[in-house]
């Protein structure tokens, strides 16, 4: 057998060994994660572990391995979803497209109880009360997209602003002074614009 054939055989053997090692690592990792989930407080309390809780399920503050703990609920819940954009540059008319930019961003979304303009710090930023629920808009998944499952009600939706000390931002107030408010009585979309442009 010449050296060329031997080289090909050894290359094939090495390739098969590498594939076998990858399969073993994958199986071990999956079994480890499964064991972590099965032994988690969430599973031990007869709830279930998921990447996120869908409509009809409520998030429970219990350990759940790599996911979140969800329990089935009889309460009505709706999906709130939307996109987050940031606007920057000189956007004064006539608008120069090269100087005025608007792009989708990765950031955190915070759902606050219904918030009045008098409860907001520094005009546009952070209510004095804490958020009810958090979500992340993920540009690696669907560009700038976020989604949160909520019970019916009126909420104020803020987005974390990386340009302002990572504070939570809202620049929309209705005629009653409600900050970035939405009344959720069905599945709805609520888009957020963080505006740092000159207008």
Query: Domains of the chain by range and CATH?
Result: 3-72 (no CATH), 78-198 (2.60.40.10)
**pTM attached to this predicted model:** 0.58
Is there a contact between 120 and 170 (Cβ–Cβ < 8 Å)? yes
Angstrom distance (rounded) from CA 168 to CA 56: 28
Tokens matching residue 157: 């939706």
Q: What separation in angstroms does the CA of 36 have from each of 7, 26, 75, 81, 181? A: 43, 15, 29, 31, 40
Mean pLDDT over the full length of the chain: 75
Compute how many other C-beta atoms are within 10 angstroms of the C-beta atom of residue 104. Answer: 15
Q: What is the pLDDT of residues 118-164, one digit of tens each?
A: 787 766 666 666 677 777 665 444 578 888 888 888 888 888 887 77
The pLDDT of 171-182, averaged and rounded, is: 84
Let me know: does 166 contact 56? Beta carbons within 8 Å. Answer: no
Q: Which pLDDT score, from 0 to 100, does residue 39 have?
A: 56
- Residue percentage of the chain with pLDDT more than 90: 2
Integer angstrom CA distances of residue 177 from 31, 105, 115, 132, 141: 53, 27, 8, 20, 34
pLDDT of residue 32: 46
Nearest Cα to Cα of residue 57 among 34, 78, 81, 80: 78
Nearest Cα residue to 154 out of 135, 188, 182, 120? 182
DSSP 79-119: EEEEEEEEEEEE-PSSP-TTTEEEEE--EEEEEEES-BGGG
The sheet carrying 68-72 orders its strands as 48-50, 68-72, 57-60
What are residue 128's phi and psi, to 5 degrees? -75, -15
Q: Which of 36-40, 68-72, 101-105, 185-189 has the lowest mean pLDDT?
A: 36-40
Three-state secondary-structure class, residue 120: strand
| Radius of gyration of the CA atoms of the chain, in A | 24
């Amino acid at each position: 057998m010449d050296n060329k054939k031997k080289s090909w055989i050894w290359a094939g053997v090495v390739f098969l060994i590498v594939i076998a090692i990858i399969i073993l690592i994958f199986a071990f990792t999956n079994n480890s994660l499964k064991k972590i989930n099965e032994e988690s407080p969430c599973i031990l309390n007869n709830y279930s572990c998921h990447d996120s809780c869908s409509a009809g399920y409520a998030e429970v503050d219990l350990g759940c391995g790599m996911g979140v703990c969800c329990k089935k609920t009889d309460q009505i819940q709706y999906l709130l979803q939307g996109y987050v954009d940031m606007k920057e540059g000189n956007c004064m008319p006539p608008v120069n497209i090269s100087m005025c930019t608007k792009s989708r961003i990765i950031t955190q979304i915070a759902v606050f109880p219904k918030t009045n303009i008098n409860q907001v710090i520094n005009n546009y930023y952070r209510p004095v009360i804490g958020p009810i629920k958090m979500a992340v808009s993920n540009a690696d998944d669907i560009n700038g997209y976020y989604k949160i499952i909520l019970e019916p009600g009126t909420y104020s939706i803020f987005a974390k602003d990386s340009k302002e000390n990572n504070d939570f931002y809202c620049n929309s107030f209705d005629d009653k002074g409600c900050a970035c408010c939405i009344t959720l009585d069905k599945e709805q979309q609520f888009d957020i614009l963080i505006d740092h442009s000159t207008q």
